[in-house]
Chain A
Amino acid sequence: MYIANNYVRAKSLEEAWELNQKKNNKIVAGNCWTRLGHGNIGTIISLKDLGLDKIESDKEQIKIGAMVSLREIENNKEILESFGNCVQKAVESIVGVQFRNLATVGGSVWGRFGFSDVLTVFLALGAKVELFKKGIVGIEEFIEMDYDRDVLVSIILPKKGLKASYDSVRLTKTDFPMLNCCVARNGEKMRVVIGAKPTKARFFDCDFNEESDKIVEQFVFGSNLRATEKYRKSVAKVLIERNRRAVM
């Protein structure tokens, strides 16, 4: 675990942002991934007192605060009613309940991890990311951005009436995914997202009837300890078909 010299609970987003401009300082949310790091942190910046632990819903969108836990989005009725069980399925295999009670949505999205289940499903649902200084950006743009010193405030899920389905393959339960896939259907169009390839998730928009062979060609797969590039490609076709069938 890292060594930290100081801990501050920010009183405002402005204060959190200002503290975060110093390279040695770090925003720590659930501390699940960060705790695996080594080295020194000047000041741990906590966002606990900023009210970012709420899920707000209206006719247009669902706004998920950065400090909402993965367990809360897993159990949230609004998310379930608006998007079916795809979000639930995406997070329910992440370690265990105790872990998901700590891990936050903000931390999961900010990390833009290659193995992320959360990023895959949010990308399929056309989520937007609210950053304190930069404002609201599409998650498609966000995943390409450099890691800067901004503060992630919330994730916005627009209610577009999408039908979405999520599936993943893991070598063992609660492990990182070997591959994950989410398909979101919008009328005769669909968005296919594939993550853990093993690099971070990417999307492809196409007709609903597009052949899975052609879809898979749009993604770059790689090999690591969990699977080879060739195997991932084969599995990707299966996951696309399964998800497509689920949203028919």
Chain B
Amino acid sequence: MVVSFKLNGIKREAIVEADTTLYKLLRELGCYSVKCGCETTNCGLCTVIVNNKSVLSCAVLALDVDGAEIETLEGLESEALEFGLCMADEGSEQCGFCNTGFIVNVVMMMRELDEIDRESVKKYLAGNLCRCTGYQGQLRALEKFIERKRGIKI
């Protein structure tokens, strides 16, 4: 079956099976930032943006995104770079496996939340698991990033 969509601003078309997941399709199309961790819709590693909403691409059927606009980290470079640098400064990248999904969700959080505080940040990012940092480094990186972008301390 044929599915067509916009991937990082470029029109794409692909032939997929009925049960092909978006995660698998994006990897086939060269978006290697999209990783799969748990495959049980829990860890947030495979986060991508579909129609301006962050979703778990391991649970999305490729055929469900027909006509949609999809953004992965590859297409968010300029938005994501600044936060990525904050993570590096705070030593919160560690093994790096969860970073891509985490950064995508942070970008989406900044787009979605008009008012931001420590509690809302924690709630928004609760679906991004990290097994090495203990989250403190990530929180420091977020503090730094949000202060730069919004001029507020969380």
Contact = CB atoms under 8 A, between A and B. Distances in A.
B22 to A, nearest CB: 10
B59 interface: yes
A31 B126 contact: no
A43 B1 CA distance: 13
A97 B39 contact: no
Contacts of A9: 63
A95 interface: yes
B127 A98 contact: yes
Nearest to A41: B19
Most buried by A among B42, B108, B127: B127
Contact of A3 (B1, B19, B41): B19
Interface string B23-53: 0000000000000000111101001000001
A28 interface: yes
Most buried by A among B1, B61, B105, B123: B61
Contacts of B39: 1
Contacts of A102: 41, 55-56, 59-60
Given A30-B59, A35-B59, A173-B126, A98 B105 contact: yes
B19 A44 contact: yes
B61 A7 contact: yes
A92 B123 contact: yes
A44 B17 CA distance: 11
A98 B58 CA distance: 11
Interface residues of B, number: 30
B4 interface: no
A36 B53 CA distance: 22
B8 interface: no
Given A7-B61, A44-B19, A46-B63, A98 B40 contact: no
A5 B21 CA distance: 14
Interface in A66-99: 71, 92-93, 95-99
B124 interface: yes
Contacts of B56: 32, 98-99, 102
A31 B17 CA distance: 16
Contacts of B21: 1, 35
The 10 lowest CB-CB distance pairs between A and B, nearest first, are: A96-B127, A4-B19, A7-B18, A4-B18, A101-B53, A98-B54, A98-B56, A7-B63, A31-B59, A32-B41
Interface of B: 1, 17-19, 21, 39-42, 44, 47, 53-56, 58-61, 63-64, 105, 108-109, 123-128
13 contacts: A7-B18, A9-B63, A31-B59, A32-B59, A36-B40, A41-B19, A44-B18, A48-B64, A96-B125, A97-B105, A98-B54, A98-B105, A99-B59
